[in-house]
Amino acid sequence: MASLSLKNICKVYPNGFEAVKDFNLEIEDKEFIIFVGPSGCGKSTTLRMIAGLEEISSGELRIGDRLVNDVEPKDRDIAMVFQNYALYPHMTVYDNMAFGLKLRKVPKDEIDKMVKEAAKILDLEKLLDRKPKALSGGQRQRVAMGRAIVRNPKVFLMDEPLSNLDAKLRVQMRIEISKLHKNLGTTIIYVTHDQTEAMTLGTRIVVMKDGLVQQVDSPQNLYTKP
Ligand code: ADP
Ligand code: ADP
């Protein structure tokens, strides 16, 4: 069964701008899909429609076999990691990671278990009482991922999650994301400008331009064949 299905998805912004035109893609369980293309080609808009943060103008979006066009973000079984981390500055690492679960009324002892498990996976166990401003960029990015992981979502969406990190940390985090993908066995959709990230992480690459899908292929075919 497809993990995610996008059928004739279009986005027209209120000002009349067509940001995404007839996007079609079937994503299988455990795929690592990369969106690439020039700035403004519609990558973020597509990701935000999948997350439910942006209304779908027309077309059908399915997660599993469920049509989710009108389903609220928190009920979509999806988690999103942004490039600017989007952490709550006044909350500790623990509370940042627990926030989404509290919102869903998960019992306290269960939240505790889930947060501590995610902290272990991401090597955040010693940082749970800190506030975001007392963390390095890489640690903040790990907290952002932790917040997504605790929800154990079917699909992860990542919008240039490493673009604010320095080169060394980027390489480290790339390896960690790859491990996460293998260990958690989730489906990931990942936006990047970085060809190395696309090649090393992706199982399939979607090339977009001017709101259109131009090509969908494996990294091998896309980057190594003439
Ligand atoms: P990308 O992520 O590929 O850089 P985006 O999806 O962010 O591209 O944007 C696609 C296009 O839609 C851009 O031309 C952008 O200016 C436009 N756009 C984004 N948000 C809005 C909006 N709220 N209203 C009008 N146009 C928008
Ligand atoms: P990015 O490309 O890094 O995702 P942008 O600077 O394109 O970020 O967009 C930041 C915010 O501004 C988004 O919420 C987007 O929807 C909005 N936005 C982008 N382009 C436009 C536009 N042309 N008109 C109105 N809102 C826009």
Q: What pLDDT, in 10s, does the model give residues 29-48?
A: 999 999 999 999 999 999 99
Which of 45, 193, 208 has the most ligand 1 atoms within 8 A of CB, as the residue to mutate? Answer: 45
Supply the mean pLDDT for the chain.
Answer: 91
3 lines ligand 1 (CB under 6 A): no
39 lines ligand 1 (CB under 6 A): yes
2 pLDDT above the threshold of 80: no
149 pLDDT above the threshold of 90: no
44 lines ligand 1 (CB under 6 A): yes
45 lines ligand 1 (CB under 6 A): yes
What pLDDT score does 77 carry? 87
Ligand 1 center–CA 86 separation, angstroms: 19
Note the pTM of the prediction, 2 decimals: 0.83
Ligand 1 center–CA 208 separation, angstroms: 13
The reply to whether ipTM tops 0.95 is no
How long, in residues, is the chain? Answer: 226
50 lines ligand 1 (CB under 6 A): no
Long-range pairs for 133-141: beta carbons < 8 A, 24 or more residues apart: 133/89, 135/93, 137/164, 137/165, 137/166, 137/169, 138/165, 138/169, 138/172, 138/173, 140/85, 140/87, 141/81, 141/85, 141/165, 141/173
Ligand 1 center–CA 45 separation, angstroms: 6
Q: From the CA of 163, which ligand is nearest?
A: 2
Which tens digits make up the pLDDT trace of 156-207? Answer: 999 988 887 788 888 888 888 898 888 888 899 999 988 889 999 999 999 9
Q: Report the range out of 141-145, 176-180, 208-212 with the highest average pLDDT.
A: 208-212
Atom 12 of ligand 1: nearest residue by CA position = 19
Closest listed residue to residue 128, CA positions, set 152, 97, 88: 97
1 pLDDT above the threshold of 70: no
Helix/strand number for the chain, H first, E second: 7, 10
Q: Is 21 helix (H, G, I), strand (E, B) or coil?
A: strand
Mean local confidence (pLDDT), 9-29: 97
